[in-house]
Structures are given as C-alpha cells and as structure tokens.
C-alpha cells in the first residue's frame, strides 16, 4: 500500500501567535527576536509584512530595523508557543498516532492507516488546515506525498494556508526544477560543493550517479541522491515510541545568538546537566556524546564521539561536547541553537571503571546526586554552577520545560 505522509508547517508561527494575542500588532511588520537593546539579538521569526521588506530569519535586529524602520520587535514567548504546538499536535492526534514533531512548528504525520476513515491525503490535509485556522486562529501549510522528504518540500512550496501534493507521477515536474538548496538538509556548505561540480537543481542531484556524489559528499551524497529520486523510506515516529529509550538529549534555541566559546560553554553546561539528570533518573549511562549545532543562517551539523567510559555526569558530558564543538566549528557565523545528546546507552555501573578513576567518579556522582535532590525539593535554579550565575544564557531549564527540538532524519544516518 502506498504511504500517505503529510508535513505540516505552521506559517510564521511565532509572529502569528504574537499577532493573535496582541491585536495592536496586526497589519504591521512584526519580528520576534531577543531584546532589541541587546547587541547580538537576532530575528527568530517574522510575519509576511516584515518579510516583504527584505527581513530574513537569523539576521541581526539592528539590520532588520535598517530595512524596516517601523518594524515592531517583540521578545519570544516560548511557553506560549509550546502551548500552541501542543494544541496543534492534539488536532493531528485525531487523525493518526504516527506524528513526528520537527521543532515546535512542524510535524510529519503518517495517515496511511486513516484514509478509509477521513478520505485521501489532500482531504485530510485540507480538514486539518481548516481546523487549525478555526480552532487556533493561525494558518498552516501542508505537503502531501509518499515520503517524508517530498512532504516537507511540499509544505514549503505554497504559503500561507495551502495544501501541495507531490506524487510519484508528478515529482519530476514539481521537484526536479527546484534549486538544490530546497532539498532538506542541503545547507550552505553542501550547496557550495554541489555548485562546484555543476549541480544546481534537485534534478541535477537525481540524475547524477550516487558514486559521483560520494566522491565529494561522502555517504551523505548517496542519501541526497535517494531523497532527490523519491526513494526515502524513513518512517514517521509514532507517538510513544520515544519511551523506547536509545538516547537522551535536549536542544534549545537560545535567547540571543552565541558569538564565542564562552557563550557556547554556558549553554552546553545547561543542556549537559539536563541530559545527565535524565540519564541518572533512568539508571542509564551514555557511551557516546553527540552535539547538534545550528548557525544563524540555519546551517546545521551533528557530530558524535565515543567516550572512554560510560557516563551520566554533567561535567564529563559538557567536556566531551565542548571538545567536539571546538574540533568542528570555526566561527564563520554566530550560533542560533545547540543540542547535546547521550547515545549508546547502557545500565548505570554496568562497566567496571579503572581503579584510579573509581574514587573520583564516586565523589562526582555523590555531588550530582546531591544536586538532583536539592533541585527536586527547591527547584532547578536552587543550585547553579558559578559560571552560570548572572548569565542571560543560563536561564533555561530544558529538563522541566522540555522545550526540545527533535533531530530528524540526518541524526539517524
């Protein structure tokens, strides 16, 4: 049976929610970003009126103000966006239990098993669009296709409030003429490498040989060839499958863009403490530490490194993550979001540490267990590392807020 996959993308999500709750912003150019007085504040989202003036997501607020002097800048309200995200997922759940979030504003839905109840893919997409508009007051664009990659591409083609269908019969006409960078996971660096080899469109990728793409993109070249030819068969993760714990991770979009190693270290400490605490709660240790980095132009990458010994200690996870970061990032652009993940999990204390490490590990575990106890009684911010005090980047509690930006297909490759 042919799969029916939807990709739902809430239009200008942050800005749309702000305009919904603040009528004075309607019919005005609006950008959601950090405090406009901050030196490094960036545009996290904008509405269509702001977009029409040339404002781009990820650019500095002062640059946005130069393009549009009348721009209304509002600080992000992530608890409100998270609430709306949960409400939209409640609507999705009325049609399928196979829903895979991709950030707060996007999700894949596998409705293959629901078509006999609600109609074909486009009918389900249109019904979801109308419900979100009527019940929540925001709009959504939905792509309908036979795989996740083309469904995602479809949701990007028509905005706002539209349904786009990409089928096996029409994808060569619809998808192949598009620029290569429109394909999911083709960022600036990959686009540049493709262009250097005369590849400008998705069709160029599709008609190249996978062996040729491998010569300059490695294994990822073959993955892009699979995507471009409509051969992606990655599943939509069913709600509840995350209970089958294979990794523990958190990521966050920071209150402002990160401009140096000190900024990054603070955020990685916050995320590492969250990951470590969740590992300890589950009686688990991670054999591998992974980082996810995304810059202000939304170029992202994932790197991982196996550790000498399994760990659930925040300091060790932080140090491993920072080593990965320093080895793989050259500060061409400021950073917008970071993630830390513990992978290849084993039961805690299942492996014998060396004699010399045993005493030190025992001391560190006692300290972190004591911190867990104090935070459970008095709240997360009752105990903080000295390096996180009085920092605008440390006022994040990803463990309790659970503001997680899930890693998609690429992390599984």
Q: How far is CA 155 from CA 161, 386, 388, in A?
A: 10, 45, 40
Same domain, 41 and 93: no
Same domain, 252 and 386: yes
Same domain, 185 and 153: no
DSSP state for residue 383 in the 8-state scheme: S
Q: Is residue 239 situated within a structural domain? A: no
Q: Is residue 346 situated within a structural domain? A: yes
User: Cα angle vertex 39, ends 34, 44, to 5°?
Assistant: 30
Q: Where among 226, 259, 292 does a domain terminate?
A: 226
Q: Is residue 198 situated within a structural domain? A: yes
Same domain, 102 and 124: yes
Same domain, 363 and 222: no
Task: Please identify every residue annotated as catalytic.
Answer: 106
Same domain, 215 and 301: no
Class of residue 173 by CB neighbours under 10 A (exposed 0-12, middle 13-18, buried 19+): exposed
pLDDT (tens digit, 0 to 9) for every residue of the chain, 413 residues total? 899 999 999 999 999 999 999 999 989 999 998 765 544 478 888 999 999 999 998 888 889 999 999 999 998 888 898 899 989 999 999 999 999 888 789 999 999 999 999 999 999 999 999 999 999 999 999 999 999 999 999 999 999 999 999 999 999 999 999 999 999 888 888 899 999 999 999 999 999 999 999 999 988 899 999 999 999 999 997 655 544 456 788 888 777 788 899 889 989 988 998 888 888 877 888 899 999 998 887 788 899 999 888 888 888 999 999 999 999 998 888 998 899 999 888 877 555 454 445 556 666 666 676 666 555 655 555 556 555 545 554 555 555 444 333 333 333 33
Omega within 30 of 0 (cis) for the link into 160: yes
- Of 147, 137, 163, the closest CA to residue 109 belongs to 147
Q: Which two tokens stand for residue 284?
A: 């688990």
What is the pTM for the complete model shown?
Answer: 0.65
Same domain, 313 and 368: yes
CATH at 382: 3.30.1490.100
CATH at 66: 3.40.1170.60
Q: Could you tell me which residues are beta bridge partners of residue 311?
A: 286
User: Cα angle vertex 29, ends 182, 42, to 5°?
Assistant: 60
Q: Could you tell me which residues are beta bridge partners of residue 141?
A: 9
Question: Rounded to whole angstroms, how far apart are CA atoms 336 and 70?
Answer: 25
Q: Is residue 6 situated within a structural domain? A: no
For the chain, the domain total comes to: 4
Would you state the pLDDT for residue 349? 59
DSSP state for residue 354 in the 8-state scheme: P
Q: How far is CA 271 from CA 125, 285, 322, 347, 405, in A?
A: 36, 16, 12, 21, 12
Question: Rounded to whole angstroms, how far apart are CA atoms 264 and 258?
Answer: 6
Would you state the pLDDT for residue 360? 61
Same domain, 147 and 266: no
- Of 82, 173, 135, 118, the closest CA to residue 6 belongs to 118
Which H or E element spans position 308? strand 300-311
Would you state the pLDDT for residue 362? 61
Same domain, 390 and 249: yes
Which H or E element spans position 248? strand 247-258
Task: Report H helices in 137-240.
Answer: 148-157, 171-174, 188-196, 202-207, 210-217, 219-228
Beta strand ranges found along 26-117 (DSSP E): 30-33, 43-46, 72-74, 99-101, 106-110
Same domain, 296 and 359: yes
Would you state the pLDDT for residue 188? 82
Same domain, 199 and 341: no
Same domain, 385 and 284: yes
Would you state the pLDDT for residue 344? 85
Q: Where among 30, 51, 78 does a domain terminate?
A: 78
Question: Rounded to whole angstroms, how far apart are CA atoms 363 and 369?
Answer: 10
CATH at 88: 3.30.70.270
Q: How far is CA 308 from CA 117, 279, 344, 352, 353, in A?
A: 52, 17, 13, 12, 10
Would you state the pLDDT for residue 354? 47
Task: Report H helices in 259-342.
Answer: 261-281, 314-328
- Of 236, 7, 2, 1, the closest CA to residue 125 belongs to 7
Question: Rounded to whole angstroms, how far apart are CA atoms 151 and 153?
Answer: 5
- CB of 57 within 8 A of CB of 44? yes
Q: Is residue 187 situated within a structural domain? A: yes
Q: Largest Cα–Cα distance of the chain, in whole Å?
A: 67
Domain around 32 = 14-78
């Amino acid at each position: 049976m042919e799969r029916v996959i939807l990709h739902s993308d809430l239009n200008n999500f942050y800005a749309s929610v702000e305009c919904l709750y603040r009528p004075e912003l309607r019919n005005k150019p609006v950008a959601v970003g950090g405090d406009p007085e901050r030196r490094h504040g960036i545009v996290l989202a904008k509405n269509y009126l702001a977009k029409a003036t040339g404002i781009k997501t990820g650019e500095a607020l002062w640059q946005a103000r130069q393009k549009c002097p009348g721009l209304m800048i509002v600080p992000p309200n992530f608890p409100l966006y998270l609430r709306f995200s949960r409400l939209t997922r409640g609507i999705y759940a009325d049609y399928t239990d196979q829903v895979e979030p991709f950030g707060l504003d996007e999700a894949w839905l596998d409705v293959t098993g629901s078509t006999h109840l609600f109609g074909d893919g486009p009918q389900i997409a249109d019904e979801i669009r109308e419900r979100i508009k009527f019940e929540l007051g925001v709009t959504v664009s939905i792509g309908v296709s036979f795989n996740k990659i083309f469904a995602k591409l479809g949701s990007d083609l028509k905005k706002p409030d539209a349904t786009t269908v990409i089928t096996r019969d029409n994808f060569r006409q619809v998808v192949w003429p598009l620029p290569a960078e429109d394909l999911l996971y083709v960022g600036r660096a990959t686009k540049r490498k493709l262009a250097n080899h005369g590849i400008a469109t998705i069709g160029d990728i599709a008609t190249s040989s996978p062996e040729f793409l491998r010569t300059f993109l490695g294994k990822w070249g073959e993955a892009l060839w699979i995507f471009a030819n409509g051969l992606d068969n990655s599943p939509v993760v069913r709600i509840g499958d995350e209970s089958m714990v294979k990794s523990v991770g958190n990521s966050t979009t920071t209150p402002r863009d990160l401009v140096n190693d000190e900024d990054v270290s603070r955020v990685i400490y916050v995320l590492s403490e969250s990951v470590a605490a969740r590992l300890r709660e589950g009686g688990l240790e991670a054999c591998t530490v992974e980082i996810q980095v995304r810059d202000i132009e939304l170029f992202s990458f994932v790197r991982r490194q196996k550790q000498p010994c399994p760990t659930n200690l925040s300091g060790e996870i932080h140090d491993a993550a920072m080593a990965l970061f320093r080895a793989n990032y050259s500060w061409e652009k400021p950073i917008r979001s970071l993630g830390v993940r513990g992978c290849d999990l084993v039961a805690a204390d299942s492996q014998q540490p060396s004699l010399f490490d045993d005493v030190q590990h025992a001391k560190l575990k006692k300290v972190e267990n004591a911190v867990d106890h104090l935070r459970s009684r008095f709240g997360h911010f009752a105990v903080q590392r000295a390096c996180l005090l009085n920092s605008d980047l440390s006022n994040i509690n990803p463990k309790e807020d659970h503001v997680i930006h899930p890693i998609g297909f690429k992390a599984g490759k």
